[in-house]
Structure 1
Amino acid sequence: MTTPLARRRLLCGLIAAPALLWAALPAQAADIKERTLRFSFVQPKESHMGYGAQKFAELVAQKSGNKMQVKLFPNGTLGGDLQTVSALQGGTIDLTTLPPGLLVGLKKEFGAFDLPFLFNDFAEADAVLDGPVGKRFMEQLPNGLVGLAYWDHGFRNVSNNRHPIAKAEDFSGLKLRALQAPLMLDTFKALGANAVPMAFTELYAALESRAVDGQDNPIVAFATNRFDEVQKHLSTTRHVYNPLIVMASRKAWDSLSADEKKVLADAAAEARVDQRRVSREMEATALAEVKKKGVVVTEVTPAERARMRDKVQPVTDKYVKEIGEELVASFHAEIEKVRTAR
């Protein structure tokens, strides 16, 4: 005869059994199909951008039980940044990573990322990106784009073939390639340079032929793209901090199951930690390497950087009005929290 206590234990065991069985199911039971996703970016595979993409691909494979594969297309083989954005919206490319300021043609608010001399260091930039402000931008991406994570691209620095840039006046008369974004063009013009909009994929040839005197990019991009072969001077202007935004095509995203979406989102977020660390380590290494190769590196002093900031203030004021004063104020509020906490 079964006692009441034994009956209760049996009943509890029958209730618990399905939950235990579910917990024991292998990862393969998730709703994940065999897929290959195309990830396009303009930098070399050996760059900080390439490192992040490769890490992301490895994590996607791992988290999906090798069902989801990410195929990398570095060096702009599928097109420059703006072409890639268009292809992403059209669904012919599945994933990319690029500076969010390049989206300003689709949504003017993204110009906030290119405001000159906004951040002093990485900690300030990370606080904005990883907080409510960064989330707000992710939720307001242009149609056809889905944001996954913010990675690191670095502070932009100016190089050229004519002379060192140590002070604001040294920009005068230089023909500099600029990102295809009005704010970046106006910043260089305010400093006295002749700004030339140009796709990144065309830049090396333009520097080699002397069609332009110089350009601006993070130091890792300068080194991995071998700009030391065609540029003599590099100056640590650090005039703009560029994050990278990892994005998926909305068309591709909507075709995925909830489990597949989680794989991509988790992989992008997890890769962010390593990508930022490696990118910033690569910057110091790259600077030492280009010096060894004969590039003359000019350290811009904080005082001269402040003079450059003053010179471009009219540009900042103009674009703050276009971007939205409340939005830019939210950037400054997050930055001030970091500065106050020190």
Structure 2
Amino acid sequence: MRKPMKKLLLAMIAPALLMSGVQAMAADIKSRTFKFSHVQPKESHMGFGAEKFAELVSKKSGGKMKVRTFPNGTLGGDLQTVSALQGGTIELTTMPPGLLVGLNKEFGAFDLPFLFNDFKEADAVLDGPVGQKFMTKLPKGLVGLSYWDHGFRNVSNSKHPIAKAEDFQGLKLRALQAPLMIDTFNTLGANAIAMAFTELYTALETKAVDGQDNPIVAFETNNFGEVQKYLSLTRHVYNPLIVMMSQKAWDQLSADERKVLMDAANETRLEQRRVSRDMEAKAIAKVKQKGVTVTEVSAQERARMRDKVKPVTEKYTKEIGEGLVKEFYAEIDKVRK
């Protein structure tokens, strides 16, 4: 009885174990290597996503397709990387969609201040028809694969805690290289200075700027707490990460190879979001232990800040397109109801 049973079990298990490898061998997949550039440390939520994606691409292609990751902006800042993707010298990257505003103003919709209240609302928009619509709006030379998580942006500085709108007054704050973000900080009373992320730590250290805004995980993994004493949980903008590929590289791929990349990016999405949000909670505890004063901004004060920047929201809603912004709010309302 034992030998027949053993043979039966092997007959059942072997196909399952070999299936992924056989499928990869049967598919139209060539040996390829892709460069994945991003500006965060390997240990960050962005780094985790890139490494997990690389692992899945290798697994799904039977080891034929390889992704080499280049963290910490070693291949250039975000805007340089976009140009490199369009030129085909770098194949993959991930960054907040708002950084694409210079190429398509509609992407400013993601940076409208105080748009989302929580992750649930943001995920619903990104994973629904509005998020998919934006994949078709990417600038020429870019192909969208998936949305990962960067987190809610929060303001830090070296001067004092920010607990109310008036506390922004006079602070020199580094802002993303996007007009909407610059106008938001200026309207709150700060002096916004556009600057690439790769230049930020030095600018904070030398006091060229008083503060900055970033998701908490980025704040902690880049050691900004060494040069910033106060972190305020303003949650003024939610940043997804849009995973993109060079159109030139994409056009060279077979349908099977494209499926490997798309499936790997989407499978990474859920795990990356979970890890990113878990890292956020742990990062708050870590920076507190290191002596950073963390201030929770109340819902009432966030509402006051939202009211103060209404002129910014109205201005950019017209530039982005009122119909498109209306679609954002309609998806959010579905979740809130």
The interval holding the TM-score normalised by the smaller chain is over 0.9
**Structure 1 position 141 matched with structure 2 position 138:** yes
Q: Which of 242, 247, 272 is residue 244 of structure 2 equivalent to?
A: 247
Partner of 2:5: none
CA distance in 1, matches of 2:149, 2:21: 38
**Structure 1 position 114 matched with structure 2 position 114:** no
Secondary structure at the residue paired with 1:285? helix
Secondary structure at the residue paired with 2:324? helix
**Structure 1 position 75 matched with structure 2 position 72:** yes
- Deviation readout 1:273-301 (Å, 9 max, x if unpaired): 10000000000000000000000001100
**After the TM superposition, which segments of 4 or more aligned residues of structure 1 sit over 3 Å from their partners?**
23-26
**Structure 1 position 91 matched with structure 2 position 105:** no
CA distance in 1, matches of 2:21, 2:261: 23
Secondary structure at the residue paired with 2:202? helix
Partner of 1:161: 158
TM-score (structure 2 length as normaliser): 0.94
Identity fraction in percent = 78
Partner of 2:316: 319
Partner of 1:238: 235
Unaligned runs of 5+ in 2: 1-19
Secondary structure at the residue paired with 2:120? helix
Q: Which of 43, 49, 53 is residue 52 of structure 1 equivalent to?
A: 49
- Deviation readout 1:36-84 (Å, 9 max, x if unpaired): 1000000000000000000000000000000000000000000001111
- Deviation readout 1:75-101 (Å, 9 max, x if unpaired): 000000111111110101000000000
Q: Which of 149, 166, 183 is residue 152 of structure 1 equivalent to?
A: 149
Partner of 1:102: 99
**Structure 1 position 262 matched with structure 2 position 265:** no
RMSD over equivalenced CA pairs, Å: 1.2
**Structure 1 position 61 matched with structure 2 position 58:** yes
Partner of 1:12: none
Structure 1 residue 27, shift from structure 2 partner: 2.5
Structure 1 residue 26, shift from structure 2 partner: 4.3
- Deviation readout 1:137-185 (Å, 9 max, x if unpaired): 0011110000000000000000000000000000000000000000000
Secondary structure at the residue paired with 1:177? strand
Structure 1 residue 230, shift from structure 2 partner: 0.5
**Structure 1 position 43 matched with structure 2 position 40:** yes
Q: Which of 225, 228, 231 is residue 228 of structure 1 equivalent to?
A: 225
CA distance in 2, matches of 1:45, 1:25: 32
Structure 1 residue 24, shift from structure 2 partner: 11
Q: Give the letter aligned to residue 102 of structure 2.
A: G
TM-score (structure 1 length as normaliser): 0.92
- Deviation readout 1:87-128 (Å, 9 max, x if unpaired): 110101000000000000000000000000000000000000
Q: Give the letter aligned to residue 327 of structure 1.
A: L
Structure 1 residue 251, shift from structure 2 partner: 0.3
Partner of 2:168: 171
CA distance in 2, matches of 1:26, 1:79: 37
- Deviation readout 1:208-235 (Å, 9 max, x if unpaired): 0000000000000000000010100000
CA distance in 1, matches of 2:310, 2:78: 28
CA distance in 2, matches of 1:249, 1:63: 20
CA distance in 1, matches of 2:153, 2:68: 28
Secondary structure at the residue paired with 2:35? strand
Size of the aligned set, in residue pairs, is: 319
Q: Which of 196, 212, 227 is residue 215 of structure 1 equivalent to?
A: 212
Give the direction of change, closer, same or farther, for the CA distance of 1:288–1:24 in structure 2 (3 Å limit): closer
Q: Give the letter aligned to residue 59 of structure 1.
A: L
Secondary structure at the residue paired with 2:236? strand
Unaligned runs of 5+ in 1: 1-22
